[in-house]
Chains A and B, each alone.
Chain A
Amino acid sequence: MLWPGTATAHLVTTGMGPVYDGIGHLLLTPEDIIPVVALALFGGMRGAESCRKLLMIVPLCWLLGGITGFGGTNIPDFPVQAGSLLLIGLLVAGDVRLPVPVTVGIAGLFGLLHGFMNGVTLNNELEPLGLLGITIALIVIITIVSALVVSIAEGWKRVAVRVGGSWVAASGLLMFGWYLKGA
């Protein structure tokens, strides 16, 4: 991952089988990984209880969405990634205190939509087992990132997380611009 050089394959191929290809895909796809990290940051800011629920709901919904997506051919005509970045970025930047069920609902919808898009996109590129790799990577990332943030009480570290959230939201807004422009 440090110096990938010229990648000419359609998707990341690790040479170690579809599960690792799935892990590699998630880790090296900014459109997926940045919203996931942002969601984990948000979960962490909302405390351990939210984190535990996120840890169950996001991978599960992603998996379900992915399985559904494998049978689909069309991705939604809506910039899901831009929407995720904007919404989650704003939640992190604003340190918004949502009730746990609402947080879980957003996380579930997020997982379903991204998973579905993954499923459709990967349909001809990756074996279904790749989805398992993506799910495993999701669990690890959410666990690590949210655990790091849970330990932050107040102070500059929390401010840094919020600033990061605002950058994610601003990027999402810009992506909406690209989408509306039709680029």
Chain B
Amino acid sequence: MKTDKSAWLVLAAWLLLMAFPFEAAAHIAGGQATGFWTGLEHPWSGLDHIVAMVAVGLWGAQLGMPALWVLPVVFPMLMSVGAMLGLLGIPVPGVEVGIAVSAVALGIMVLGEVRPGMVVAMLVVGFFAIFHGHAHGTELPAGQSGLLYSMGFILGTGCLHGVGILIGLVHYYPLGKGLLRLTGGCIAVMGLFFLWHAVT
């Protein structure tokens, strides 16, 4: 068992280190040396994105298994679809409004401890993920490309969901339930602010 754990740790450390090649200027991996960092930072670049992604984690934690991990899986997948549309220049109407509404909707879900069926929850999260992805796709900096950027981008999103899940674990304590719902309310209010900002 000890060996098993050590092997997992070594594997994780190696994959992590491989993601930080520093100033590698090799031709084959050209242009990607700083891609992982840029990709990792990108999902953290806007508060509207951050609160919505954290809200996904909060809601997942509130809903419990399997939503706890299914929602944070659905979001990056559909966000990639949105990013692809953005990269290709395919328009998605009302992206900024969609992002703001996502914070409002997900905040309300957490505030009201809404428990729809698994499929409905996936559809809600997936629908809003497309707006977030599209915004990121159109904003992707010139000169960045390749796997490392993509991995960083997805990992950055996953970390935000992870933060949400960790915070959401307070749900399993009596006082925490109320606090979590209050956090959802705050996110919804922030979403309303973003919405007001988007339409004015």
B79–A144 CB distance below 8 A = no
Chain A 168-183 interface residues, beta-carbon cutoff 8 Å to B: 169-178, 180-181, 183
* B51-59, B92-100, B117-125, B148-156 - the one binding chain A: B148-156
B11 lies within 8 A of chain A by Cβ: yes
A4 with B73: in contact, given A167-B151, A174-B83 (CB under 8 Å)? no
A2 lies within 8 A of chain B by Cβ: yes
A30–B80 CB distance below 8 A = no
B150–A171 CB distance below 8 A = yes
A residues in contact with B21, CB < 8 Å: 4, 7, 28
Chain A 1-25 interface residues, beta-carbon cutoff 8 Å to B: 1-12
- Residue in B25, B69, B86, B87 whose beta carbon sits within 8 Å of that of A8 in the complex: B25
A106 lies within 8 A of chain B by Cβ: no
A174 with B28: in contact, given A6-B22, A30-B148, A148-B8 (CB under 8 Å)? no
How long is the Cα–Cα vector from A183 to B145 in the complex, in angstroms?
Answer: 7
A81–B158 CB distance below 8 A = no
A33 with B18: in contact, given A166-B73, A173-B81 (CB under 8 Å)? yes
How long is the Cα–Cα vector from A67 to B76 in the complex, in angstroms?
Answer: 37
- What is the distance, in angstroms, from A92's C-beta to the closest C-beta of chain B? 11
- Residue in B7, B19, B88 whose beta carbon sits within 8 Å of that of A144 in the complex: B7
- Size bracket of the B interface: 35 or more
A residues in contact with B4, CB < 8 Å: 148, 151
B137 lies within 8 A of chain A by Cβ: yes
- What is the distance, in angstroms, from A121's C-beta to the closest C-beta of chain B? 6
A159 lies within 8 A of chain B by Cβ: yes
- What is the distance, in angstroms, from A114's C-beta to the closest C-beta of chain B? 13
- What is the distance, in angstroms, from B3's C-beta to the closest C-beta of chain A? 10
A181 with B27: in contact, given A163-B158, A174-B150, A175-B147 (CB under 8 Å)? no
Closest to B89 in A: A181
How long is the Cα–Cα vector from A34 to B154 in the complex, in angstroms?
Answer: 14
Closest to A180 in B: B88
A177–B18 CB distance below 8 A = no
How long is the Cα–Cα vector from A183 to B150 in the complex, in angstroms?
Answer: 13
Q: 0/1 per residue, B97-122, Cβ < 8 Å to A? A: 00000000000000000000000000
A174–B18 CB distance below 8 A = no
B interface list, Cβ under 8 A from A: 4, 7-8, 11, 14-15, 17-19, 21-29, 69, 72-73, 76-77, 79-81, 83-84, 86-88, 137, 145-148, 150-151, 153-155, 158
